[in-house]
Amino acid sequence: SISSLKELVDNELKSLSQDFIAKEQLERKDRETLIASFDEINQRIGSLEGKLTKYKKRLNEQRFKSLLDSLTKLPNRAAFDERYNHELHIFNVQASDVTLVVIDVDHFKSINDRFGHPTGDAVLKQLAVQLMARMRKYDIICRYGGEEFLIILPDCNIERAQHVAEKIRSTVHNHTFVVGIEKIAVTV
């Protein structure tokens, strides 16, 4: 009969409607679970990015420190090697002038022997300040080791380099290095 057929179709529609509602509820719960998971993953990523930034900063600080002479605060031999290779590459590619100036403190051992190593260290620190004052902003000066300093003068021909070297020699010779009560004459 039509009424039993209608009842059967109504029951099937109710069943389908309930199944559809149940499916929507499951999908909504799955979406909520997925969103919660994404939020948790985003928080973890944010935390990891923060840690990565912190580690990169520490790594850069350590790299900077590894290229710095702890006594004079000038670039060290490793920094010199990097810059020297860079300037040598530029010289080879562009054929531009580059000059290397070597500075050695005369009789430095006698300063250490006579006044002590702390005084010798203070002299090296003062010498570093004197040398830095004579450099252009794109020159690089480094403490190569002991009482030896190297200066790379990019875009500097031999005549200018001789002038710079003589100016440094003269400045150091005319400067009185004062450490405590001691006045120390230094030549390079």
Nearest to 101 by CA among 22, 156, 181: 156
Record the tokens describing residue 67, joined without a space: 């290229």
In angstroms, rounded to a whole number, what is the distance separating the alpha carbons of residues 2 and 24? 32
Q: Element (H or E) spanning 25, and its range? A: helix 2-66
147 counts as catalytic: yes
Query: Which one from 12, 24, 87, 147 is the annotated catalytic residue?
Result: 147
Instruction: Count how many residues are written for the chain.
Output: 188
What does residue 136 show for φ and ψ, rounded to 5 degrees?
A: -75, 160
Q: Residues with catalytic annotation?
A: 147
